Amino acid sequence: MKIKFEKYESGGNDFVLIDDRNNLYDLNSDKIKTICDRNFGIGSDGLIILKKSKIADFKMIYYNSNGQTSSLCGNGTRCLFSFSLSLGINKKIAKIETSEGIYTATISNRNLVSLKMKNIYNIHLFDNKAYLNSGSPHHVEMIDDLNKISVKNLGSSIRFSNRYSPDGTNVNFFNKINDKKFEIRTYERGVEDETLSCGTGATAVAIAAHAMRLTNQSEIIIKTKGGELIISFETSKKGYKNIYLEGPTRFVFKGEY
């Protein structure tokens, strides 16, 4: 059977999106892995299936490029929202059912796609590093010169380390440009390589930087290799609330596989 798809990206973080509200497709792990393969398939960091939902406007099922389901993908969720707009499912705001709960996406006053993230209360700080869950687990580490490291090698060693066994973690290396702006490079588990952008990673770095007292700003620009994302938040006695991940999304092309 031919599979109709569209491809979107945010900061070079790219996704194959499939509308399966009518339950037409039976995609197993091997098929998804092949579709995401950049040599033998369409090529993407992940594949997202849009399904009907009984508790939200629609349901998101997210697969990493290794063919396995994963936790929240911030950029992928924002791309799926843009996809849903093109399908006429909703107008400018949507409740999205994900594996991590229901998330709300909308068009911001900057005409960017904004996703409200879950509150973050547990941040583990150690040795000028941090570990937190921003929808997906993230190790955050400050590096003086991001251009002098192998993100794949160093990221992999941390991702598979005993500290994060057995499930592993995403890994973010960052440095400070100024109080308002930080630069990051991200190793994503499931992709098992560096990606050009990561929404939950950008969120994790912004929150961690504030928790590490590297900034007192409540709106932070995160510069990724693929573009910029904006993270805003409020502090509370418990931690961080009203967290928003904001940035552009772009339709790339559509076709049949």
Task: Give every CB contact of residue 3 below 8 A, 6+ residues apart in sequence.
Answer: 18, 25, 27, 35, 256, 257
CA nearest neighbour of 159 among 125, 136, 178, 127? 136
Check if the beta carbon of residue 194 is closer than 8 Å to that of residue 186. yes
Given the residues 198, 204, 207, 209, select the one marked as catalytic.
198
Cα angle 78, 154, 39; round to 5: 55
- Distance between CA 193 and CA 39 in Å, rounded? 16
How far apart CA 106 and CA 84 sit, in angstroms, is 11
Q: How far apart are CA 199 and CA 205, in angstroms?
A: 10
Tell me, yes or no, if 198 is annotated catalytic.
yes
Catalytic residue among 35, 60, 73, 151: 73
**Is-catalytic flag, 36?**
no
Phi/psi of residue 139, each to 5°?
-90, 130
The number of C-alpha atoms within 13 Å of 191 and in the hemisphere containing its C-beta is: 26
Q: State the catalytic residues.
A: 73, 198
